[in-house]
A and B are shown apart, each in its own frame.
Chain A
Amino acid sequence: MTDATRRSRSWLDIVAVAAVVGALVFAMTSPRVESQGDSARMLFIHVPTIWLAYLAFAVTFVASITYLVTKKLKWDLIAGSSAEIGVVFTTVAIIGGAIWGKATWNVYWTWDARLTLTAIMLFVYIGYLALRRSIPDPEARARRSSVLGILGLVQLIPVHFSVTWWRTLHQSNTFRPRDIQMDGPILAALLMSVGAFTLVYASLLRHRVHLAELELVALEAAAATEGPVAGDAVTAPTIDSAGAGE
């Protein structure tokens, strides 16, 4: 790795942290939401985290297709890394939503369509990560997991539109085409925090992909050194036919 890439990576980290601090100031000083009060400030965490989950799984989808087309392992590393980040942020979105739900709905969790489908999405992508761990060979892992990485994205459609398709406790989508149900100052603060979280995602993804590349190099180095392994000195015991009957 060159110094230039290392420098650009740390620059991205600094910009992401600065953006988060800036977004936090906006989130704390934005006008209070009518009828919900300060609990509505969860908006500035809840919406960006689920946005990141959508974005991360979309990147996994694109990277999986690109791997199948180009057969370059780097794309598979991007797919896996992005899904990992997506799982983390889906979890944060669910936990943040539960806290917000208790404050406004009066319940942490309930089995309405939006909540349930989001939980299913989380479990499918945890399954995707489990699948990756179960296949040691990098090529086979890339080939098989890319199928799930592509199919997994389909769920995002029912997850997102569940609140308009079915009757749910979760309110309907605030962002409708040409009709945003949000006042300007709140929207500005929300866009700031969505931008900041997106930078955090970019930074996390670069670090995670870099780590995955190092893992791959280490794995290849280990495979290249054909040395003795633990237990080589031990010979398997054999059954003495004369003493077997006793």
Chain B
Amino acid sequence: MKRYWKFLVPATVALGLLIVLLVNLSSNLVYFRTPTELQTEVAPSEERLRLGGQVVAGTVVENGETLVLTVTDGRESLQVEHAGAIPQLFAEGQGVIVEGTWDGAMFHSDTMLIRHDEQYRTEDNVIYDTIDHELDEL
């Protein structure tokens, strides 16, 4: 009997952790909503949510303690009033995810994350595209 206990205890702990993780995951498969979704599907409320999009160039205005900016998903844009720390990689055209509430006209955020793209390009702007071409020929 004893050795079954030795198996059961870690198995139960592992299963418990798995359930906790899955419960967490189910509400987070969609990590952020887009400006289009907020304007068409999501009703304004006090509930906290995440909004993701690209910072529109020329819209970033410092307004005392807050930062006002516009994010876009390419179709719709949304104004964000951000009161909180600004990540190092924040820039115009950068992908950002802000956390806060949506009141129907403005998104009020206190946390900002950077969502960078999957491209790894060198700073010297030389176009290294030989590999892509070679692969295309395959």
A-side residues, CB < 8 A to B, are 31-36, 40, 43, 103-107, 110-113, 116-117, 119-120, 123-124, 126-127, 130-131, 133-136, 166-169, 171-174, 178-187
In the bound complex, CA of A127 to CA of B123 (Å) = 44
- Which B residues touch A34, using CB under 8 A? 121-123, 125
Whether B115 sits at the interface, judged by CB under 8 Å, is yes
Q: Is the CB of A113 within 8 A of B28?
A: yes
Q: Is the CB of A33 within 8 A of B25?
A: no
The one of B7, B21, B122, B132 in contact with A180, judged by C-beta atoms closer than 8 angstroms, is: B132
In the bound complex, CA of A173 to CA of B132 (Å) = 16
State the total of A-B contacts with C-beta under 8 angstroms.
138
Whether B46 sits at the interface, judged by CB under 8 Å, is no
In the bound complex, CA of A135 to CA of B3 (Å) = 7
Q: Is the CB of B97 within 8 A of A169?
A: yes
Q: Is the CB of A186 within 8 A of B122?
A: yes
The one of B17, B30, B112, B118 in contact with A106, judged by C-beta atoms closer than 8 angstroms, is: B112
- Which B residues touch A181, using CB under 8 A? 117-120
Given contacts A103-B88, A105-B114, A130-B14, contact A166 B31 (CB under 8 A): yes
Q: Is the CB of B122 within 8 A of A104?
A: no
| Shortest Cβ gap from A84 to chain B (Å) | 15
Whether B136 sits at the interface, judged by CB under 8 Å, is yes
| Shortest Cβ gap from A144 to chain B (Å) | 9
Q: Is the CB of B31 within 8 A of A124?
A: no
Q: Which residue of A lies closest to B114 (CB)?
A: A105
Q: Is the CB of A187 within 8 A of B7?
A: no
| Shortest Cβ gap from A174 to chain B (Å) | 5
Q: Is the CB of A183 within 8 A of B122?
A: yes
Q: Is the CB of A174 within 8 A of B118?
A: yes
Q: Is the CB of A123 within 8 A of B3?
A: no
Q: Is the CB of B25 within 8 A of A111?
A: yes
The one of B6, B21, B32, B97 in contact with A116, judged by C-beta atoms closer than 8 angstroms, is: B21
Q: Which residue of A lies closest to B130 (CB)?
A: A184
Q: Mark B95-138, 1 if CB is under 8 A from A, else 0.
A: 00100000000000000111111111111111010111001101
